[in-house]
């Protein structure tokens, strides 16, 4: 049985923990009892600081001769 060399992965998002919007939508609506339309801003806040690390190995394969 053989192990392959490891595959190492490092992923980092929003390292400086900046506030930002993942998605943002402006919606204009008017209810029956409102004389003027109202525009509202809707957003999905983005994730904060995130770091992920991982390693993987493959097992098996042909034996060396």
**Local confidence pLDDT in tens for the 65 residues of the chain:** 688 888 999 999 999 999 989 899 999 999 999 999 999 999 999 889 999 999 998 887 655 55
Does any domain span residue 63? no
Predicted local distance difference test score (pLDDT) of residue 2: 81
Does any domain span residue 64? no
Predicted local distance difference test score (pLDDT) of residue 65: 55
Other residues' Cβ atoms within 10 Å of the Cβ of residue 37: 9
Does any domain span residue 11? yes
* Strands, E assignment, 2-49: 7-13, 21-29, 38-45
Predicted local distance difference test score (pLDDT) of residue 3: 83
Domain span including residue 19: 7-56
Does any domain span residue 2? no
The pTM of the full predicted model, rounded to 2 decimals, is 0.49
Predicted local distance difference test score (pLDDT) of residue 59: 87
List, in sequence order, every residue forming a beta bridge with 10; answer none if it has no partner.
53
Domain count, the chain: 1
Does any domain span residue 15? yes
């Amino acid at each position: 049985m053989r192990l392959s060399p490891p595959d190492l992965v490092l992923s980092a998002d929003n390292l400086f923990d900046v506030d930002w919007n993942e998605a943002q939508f402006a919606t204009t609506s008017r209810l029956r009892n409102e004389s003027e339309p109202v525009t509202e801003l809707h957003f999905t806040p983005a994730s904060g600081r995130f770091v992920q690390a991982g390693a993987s190995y493959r097992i098996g394969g042909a034996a060396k001769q």
